[in-house]
Structure 1
Amino acid sequence: RRATRGLAKNPQTLSVLGKGANSGCPPPLAPQAMLRSSQPLTGPNRKRCREDEVLLGTVLDEGERGFIIDTRSAQAAKQARMTGGGTEPKSSYPQWRRLHRPLERGRQLQESFIKLVDACNDTTINMDRWLNRLESCRWLSHVKAALSTACLAAQCMDREEANVLVHGAEGTDTTLLVTALAQVILDPSCRTLAGFQGLLEREWIEAGHPFHLRCAHSAYSHARLKQEAPLFLLFLDCVWQLSRQFPFSLEFSERLLLTLFDNAYASAYGTFLCNNEKERCLCKVKENTHSLWAWLNQPGERQKYLNPLYSPNALVIWPSVEPQSIQLWQGLFFRWIRSSQYLDEAWAEIQWLVEGSEPPKDSAGNRLSRSLSDPTARPENAR
């Protein structure tokens, strides 16, 4: 029997992303498409799936080329044949070029997360030991790898004007990480608050990311479940890196990312419950729970998650992935050991300035101004 879990039998395709709409250029006649799927089940005998070949063939016109970005290493993809998986044979997909960009998705990623949290919460270590522990956990390396792969997918579409297929093994972990990040890079609508919510709903929730398995416990738990892995957190961290490098291009603020992280692990809402749509239907999640989006979009709440510096940017945003550009997300990893009071007050003052109103007299900026003008003044919170 031939493979039945390729694109044809298990379709998981993305919406078409037009290059023109993303880059500010006139829209092309044939916009590029980004697709995602699970691995083809070629097996050790290198079976073919005619339906897959026809489906991928319809994406390309004569003479066009496409790229298959595999989020596994070439060795891992080769070993997958022994269990029925594998890769697309070159002879069956002559117009497609396969690129391997391995991304961690299991135990190693979870251990990296745990080591980072342990290091961040140890306030007794000196500088040298802190830097060694930060390097040894390799979390920032995972962030860099994820951003680099997403940039590759975006570059294939925007610069090479090629169609892109992204897949790993099941297509519900690193595949979603890459396709979601690529859309934030390419599509300005995904950088708005409403568009980002739609992206999460489409690329993570409806696409079947197993939140119940991946986010069963936090890094503080003594339990070590085999299926746990902070893929969604890694995505949020990468989006935070984008927001830091492009502070005017994202409509939402860091507060939204922190709220999403909290609700992915423990929530009063049903948005991130279960592992897929089938489980959510069986558990009647929509009927028995409230949506996180409905709460976030309330007029009184929505304003809290907006970036006061936001200015719509129709261009593609290309992040730097140099080691010097990737920073630790202090707002998340230091949130329990360092107060965010001053940062929150600073953002509030920015909001007041943008709106053209006067900040309160007891704001952080006014306290600092008074202390600078009067050397004898020592505000209660001055340090």
Structure 2
Amino acid sequence: LRRGRPLQESFIKLVEACNDPSLSMDRWLGRLESSRWLSHVKAALSTACLAAQCMDREESHVLVHGAEGTDTTLLVTALAQVILDPSCRTLEGFQGLLEREWIQSGHPFHLRCARSASSHARLKQEAPLFLLFLDCVWQLSRQFPFSLEFGEHLLLTLFDNAYASAYGTFLCNSEKERSLCKVKESTHSLWAWLNQPEEKHKFLNPLYSHNALVIWPSVEPQSIQLWQGLFLRWIRPSQYLDEAWEEIQRLVKEN
């Protein structure tokens, strides 16, 4: 799995292509392919599936370790758990997964998410590993629309807060730094906010039905799609999608 500069450059190329309205369809598809972002998504899902397969079908223990254990390692282990464990596909369980596998395990959010892809700055240690994870989870939610208790709105909210947040959940690079900076004492938790009843319902998937089975995603090229809700949200209005989502919620409540 690629990380660091190659992944960040891929992200930048994709964002630049998505924000260029002058491109013809052929040129836009060419830019999309040359960014190689969807290849990174496929590679991440494939690796997570390999780890999950070893545990589920071969009943083997799996050791996953990248260079430092705080980037691609967390990406693979977290994705494998979403694939294998239905509790990680609930809103509460997914929050616990992020807290355990990304925050407490030391993913350096401050270094990796220092600036957005739209920034002209090119920081050496910046890399969208967490975004890649969220994109992979979105792919799972698209392929298994009834199996995740939360919807796209949660994933978008997590992305936004990883890069710029009024909460302290994604601050600093490690638990040690958060302790030294007294983050928990001086900031509010993102989880506390989104778990408020008046907010929580916005993040739930009205089509959710508990699925105790392992969810094996397809990683064929035709199955991996661009996350339009994120990458095209500033140039493609979401009004009709939002209205359709509200109608689905209304119909589910009535039935």
TM-score (norm 1): 0.66
Q: Can you list the C-alpha shifts for 1:76-115, whole angstroms capped at 9, x where unaligned?
A: xxxxxxxxxxxxxxxxxxxxxxxxxxx0110000000000
TM-superposed deviation, 1:200:
0.1
Match of 2:8 in 1: 110
Cα distance in 2 for residues equivalent to 1:341 and 1:119: 23
Aligned to 1:262: 160
Rg larger in 1 or in 2?
A: 1
Counterpart Cα distance in 2 of 1:335 and 1:179: 29
More strand per residue: 1 or 2?
A: 1
For 1:175-186, list aligned pairs within 5 A: 175-186=73-84
Matches within 5 A, 1:212-227: 212-227=110-125
1:127-146 alignment, distance < 5 Å? 127-146=25-44
Spell out, residue by residue over 1:324-373, the C-alpha distance to the aligned partner (whole angstroms, 9 max, x if none): 0000000000000011110011010000000007xxxxxxxxxxxxxxxx
Please say if 1:337 is aligned against 2:235.
yes
Question: C-alpha distance in 1, partners of 2:94/2:217?
Answer: 18
The 5-angstrom pairing of residues 274-289 of structure 1 reads 274-289=172-187
CA apart distance, 1:128: 1.1
Higher relative contact order (CA 8 A, sep 6+): 2
1:196 aligns with 2:94: yes
Q: Tell me the distance in 2 between the aligned counterparts of 1:264 and 1:183.
A: 21
Residue aligning to 1:154: 52
Per the alignment, in what secondary structure is the counterpart of residue 164 of structure 1? coil
CA RMSD, 1 decimal: 0.6
Which residue number corresponds to residue 239 of structure 1? 137
4+ long deviations beyond 2 Å: none
Which letter does structure 2 place at the counterpart of 1:278?
Answer: K
Cα shift readout 1:1-54 (whole Å, capped 9, x = no counterpart): xxxxxxxxxxxxxxxxxxxxxxxxxxxxxxxxxxxxxxxxxxxxxxxxxxxxxx
**Match for 1:116: what amino acid?**
L
The sequence identity of aligned pairs, in percent, is 87
Q: Aligned partners of 2:193 and 2:141: how far apart in 1? A: 23
Q: Which runs of 5+ in 2 are unaligned?
A: none
SS at match of 1:165: coil
Tell me the TM-score normalised to structure 2 length.
0.99
Q: Which residue of 2 aligns with 1:74?
A: none
Residue of structure 1 in register with 2:250 after alignment: 352
Partner of 1:229: 127
